[in-house]
Amino acid sequence: MSVAAPILAVKGVTRRFGGLIAVNDVSFTVAEKQILSVIGPNGAGKSTLFKLIASFLKPTSGEVLFNGARISGLSPHIAARKGVVRTFQETTVFKAMTVRENIVIAHHLRSRAGLAGFYFGSANARADEAGFGRSADEIIDFLGLSEQRHKLASSLPHGHLRALGIGIGLATDPKLLLLDEPFAGMNHDETAKAVEMVRGVRGRGVTVVLVEHDMPAVMKISDRVVVLNFGQKIAEGTPAEIQRNDKVIEAYLGSEDAAIGL
Amino acid sequence: MSQLQNLRLARASVFLLIVFVIVPWAIAAGGRNDLYYTLTSVALLSIASAGVWLTFYIGRINIGQGAYALMGGYVSAILVVQYGVSFWLTLPLAGLFCAAISVLIGLPILRLRGVYFAMVTLVLTEVTRLSALALPITNGAKGMVSIPLPGPIGFGGFDLVPGFATLKTPNMAFYYLSMLLMCLCFAAMYRLVHSRIGRLCQSLQQNEELASSIGVNITLLRIIAYAISSFLGGLSGAIFVGIAQSIYPSSFTVNDSVNFMLNCFLGGLGYVFGPILGTFVLYFGWDLLFQAGPYQLLIFSSLLILFMLVLPNGLLSLNPFARRKA
């Protein structure tokens, strides 16, 4: 375990759906500015675990601690306020807004003005707007979306949408960003770019937890990897350790034996 | 930017000039005092429709505005008749009553989306009508009649607004009142939609999960929008009762709820001022088709269906200068 105090601690988290135990007594920690990936075969409970960390689901038992304080069971927008922000699988963006509008609105958490301030256009609200615009432009440049700035989100190709999704997450100024399959459906070049982008996100001081299928990308990018199978954690370690782990190889054998990059 | 502002200011001035000077002048010249009543109805219906429009703006199909218009009407009637409260005071009270009720109703039902929310609100209109029939305070099916006209507003013997009963043409007074409220209501809505609250509403409309993940308190925002919507419904219902001087459980029915929604569709869900145009066209369109006799409803509904196929974004989408906000 790393020296720094963990920013995220998942402690004995279990989630049942009726008779099905989707996530069973899973524990692990994430240190600040690490990139941790959660992998596992289909149906292993990755997505459920992801939602549990993002407070989109409540655990049946166990808890999730962020900087030592419990966040499991809170509303998603409260968790987001504390700095735990998720992105979505596929292409969840505000489709009828432009790229820039998407990222500006995602700054909502940073606003100092309240609803009344927005309505009457108080000095704070106007200062917010100006600041959000500048920050949005910076994020757009960081993500390489400068040429798409004023395009409607619904007109963007897949890869750019994924980048926009990350941009929306970044705009909230998160301490911990949860990425839901950031490399899914991407070709080799797109994945390489996206890997660089996620490294860049960490470079901005953000801790990253991602759920992913793309094993080569996971092995390339992660500081640590947690492997789930049938809802249970079967392994945890550095990418090199995971690649040698017998349980992991067994879990993937038969179906995707080449998938972990052996 | 300032050129755009000037253009907007000019348009608003022209609209106000037409509504408050030209129309009353034309009506006086033509001797068509009945038009006051018609235009007053359009103004009040468009206020209620503005509320429905706002719920559309957060992504909810609201077919329950009739319920709040009816509630607002009863609140005003009961306060005036049984407690001797001034009509003017009952206007905000009716609105606030409806807003409060809508918070209680909205907390559970605003979680529903799409057709489920629509169905519950549709039922709400019917439930309100049945409650009005059943409750002792509303006087059941006999309704409440002979409600006095609005009294004067003034201080120390000086009447700022004269009592409507002393006027030769209370219709004209109601026209000015309703048009004034309509202008205020839509000015406030315009500001709302063009402030960041409008953007937040759009984020809600487009994707609630994503909105909550960026820290938007979606429950609070939904409740606020629904409460404003119901406030406007109650306000318009209360003034209708003041004009008709009576209210019955059937004063606002499911039909009215559907019409409020159609007004929004017709004008355009993406445009703040859509409900005004939609209400105007729908109200006068229906009246014009009166000559078609038994075929009135058939032609009317066929035209509406055709219209939705050809112009799904509403009448205002024909205006190349209108700014679309959705």
pLDDT in tens, A224-249: 999 999 899 999 999 999 888 888 88
Lowest-confidence segment of A53-62, B120-129, B146-155 by average pLDDT = B146-155
State the DSSP string of B138-192. Answer: GTGGG-B--PPPP--EEETTEEEE--GGG-S-HHHHHHHHHHHHHHHHHHHHHHH
Determine, for residues A115 and B191 on separate chains, whether the beta-carbon distance falls below 8 Å.
Answer: no
Query: Does A152 lie at the interface with B, CB-CB under 8 angstroms?
Result: no
Residue A254 shares a structural domain with residue A179: yes
pLDDT in tens, A64-95: 999 999 998 899 999 999 999 999 876 789 99
Q: Give Cα B46 distance to the centre of its chain.
A: 4
Chain A positions touching B214 (Cβ under 8 A) are 80, 85, 105-106, 108-109, 168, 171-172
Q: How confident is the model at residue A2, as a pLDDT?
A: 47
Range of the domain at A251: 1-83+175-184+192-262
Domain boundary assignment for chain B: 1-32, 36-150+162-253
Which phi and psi angles does A69 have, rounded to 5°? -110, 145
Residue A179 shares a structural domain with residue A79: yes
Q: How many domains does chain A have?
A: 2
Dump strand ranges (E) for A72-162.
84-86
pLDDT above 60: residue B24? yes
Domain CATH code at residue A245: 3.40.50.300
Mean pLDDT score of chain B, rounded to an integer? 90
The percent of residues above 70 in pLDDT, for chain B, comes to 97
Q: How confident is the model at residue B317, as a pLDDT?
A: 83
The span from the CA of A178 to the CA of A55, in Å, is 11
Residue A65 shares a structural domain with residue A179: yes
**Signed CA dihedral, A243, A246, A248, A252: sign only:** positive
Q: Which residue has the tokens 């958490």?
A: A109
pLDDT in tens, A88-145: 876 789 999 999 999 999 998 888 888 888 888 888 888 888 899 999 999 999 888 9
Reported confidence tier of residue A253, pLDDT bands at 50, 70, 90? low
pLDDT above 50: residue B214? yes
Scanning every residue of chain A, which has its alpha carbon at the shortest distance from the alpha carbon of B203? A94
Which phi and psi angles does B69 have, rounded to 5°? -65, -40
Q: How many CB pairs under 8 A join A and B?
A: 80
Reported confidence tier of residue B274, pLDDT bands at 50, 70, 90? very high
Lowest-confidence segment of A232-241, B61-70, B100-109 by average pLDDT = A232-241
Dump strand ranges (E) for B218-283.
none
Question: Who's near A202: CB < 8 A, 6+ residues apart?
Answer: A33, A34, A35, A208
pLDDT above 50: residue A149? yes
Reported confidence tier of residue B71, pLDDT bands at 50, 70, 90? very high
Which one of B195, B197, B210 has the shortest CB-CB distance to A88? B210
Query: Does A111 lie at the interface with B, CB-CB under 8 angstroms?
Result: yes
Q: Chain B interface, mutation test: which of A94, A135, A152, most B Cβ atoms within 10 Å?
A: A94
Please name which of A153, A142, A137 lies closest in space to residue A102, comparing C-alpha atoms: A153
Mean pLDDT of B59-82: 95
Structural tokens at position A220: 């390339």
Residue A110 shares a structural domain with residue A73: no
Q: How confident is the model at residue A116, as a pLDDT?
A: 84
Question: Who's near A82: CB < 8 A, 6+ residues apart?
Answer: A66, A67, A69, A71, A74
Determine, for residues B213 and A86 on separate chains, whether the beta-carbon distance falls below 8 Å.
Answer: yes
Residue B140, exposed/middle/buried by CB under 10 A (0-12, 13-18, 19+)?
Answer: middle
Residue A255 shares a structural domain with residue A133: no
Q: Which of A173, A207, A234 represents a domain boundary (last residue)? A: A173
Q: Chain B interface, mutation test: which of A108, A126, A129, A139, most B Cβ atoms within 10 Å?
A: A108
pLDDT above 70: residue A192? yes
Question: Who's near B73: CB < 8 A, 6+ residues apart?
Answer: B94, B237, B238, B240, B241, B247, B251, B252
Which one of A81, A85, A94 has the shortest CB-CB distance to B203? A94
Determine, for residues A76 and B196 on separate chains, whether the beta-carbon distance falls below 8 Å.
Answer: no
Q: How confident is the model at residue A1, as a pLDDT?
A: 47
Question: Who's near A187: CB < 8 A, 6+ residues apart?
Answer: none
Q: List the 165-204 stretch of B: residues with Cβ below 8 A of A.
A: 191-192, 195-197, 199-200, 202-203
Query: Does B156 lie at the interface with A, CB-CB under 8 angstroms?
Result: no
Q: How confident is the model at residue A262, as a pLDDT?
A: 47
Q: How confident is the model at residue B102, as a pLDDT?
A: 96
Is the ipTM here above 0.95?
A: no
